Amino acid sequence: MEELTDAQKVCAKRAENLDPTVPYVRGWSEGRRGADALAEQLRAIGLETDFPGLRADVNVFGDGIVSVGAVRPEAVELLTRLIASGLAIEMAQHDTANPRPPSDSKPRPHPDASAA
């Protein structure tokens, strides 16, 4: 069976047999930073025990990846709701900082438009 690979090669096979020409350490370090950042946030919201398989890894191309392992559906649903809530707050803050004109306002004529 052929393994599918996305643009970032995240779905590529894990690097089990190392190729001496590939810089795996750099990729694994990037994966480790990502795994550590996620672990920190999971601890902050009390979900660290729900992601026991969280770890850094590297694929055959030397790209760092983060594996979350098997996770309870309830933990994923909670994490999904938290992400969606955070995005909604971020979008609301952006809209407050950059208000749009009311939808019933009349369009302004272009400055180059000649007066009739």
Listed by start position, the domains of the chain span 24-96
Instruction: Name the token pair of 104.
Output: 């019933």
pLDDT in tens, the chain (116 residues): 344 456 666 677 776 777 788 888 898 999 999 999 999 999 999 999 999 999 999 888 888 999 999 999 999 999 999 999 999 999 999 888 877 766 665 656 656 655 55
* DSSP for 56-92, written as a single string: EEEBTTS-EEEE--S--HHHHHHHHHHHHHHHHHHHH
Residue 90 and residue 82 in contact, taking contact as beta carbons nearer than 8 Å: no
Instruction: Name the token pair of 82.
Output: 């938290």
Q: By three-state DSSP, how is residue 20 classified? A: coil
pLDDT value for 30 = 94
pLDDT value for 88 = 94
pLDDT value for 68 = 92
Which of 27, 17, 21, 26 is CA-nearest to residue 58? 27
pTM more than 0.85:
no
pLDDT value for 16 = 73
Q: Give the list of residues 6+ apart from residue 57 with CB closer than 8 angstroms, or none.
A: 14, 15, 28, 31, 64, 65, 66, 67
Give the dihedral sign, CA 85/76/64/41.
Answer: positive
Q: By three-state DSSP, how is residue 114 classified? A: coil
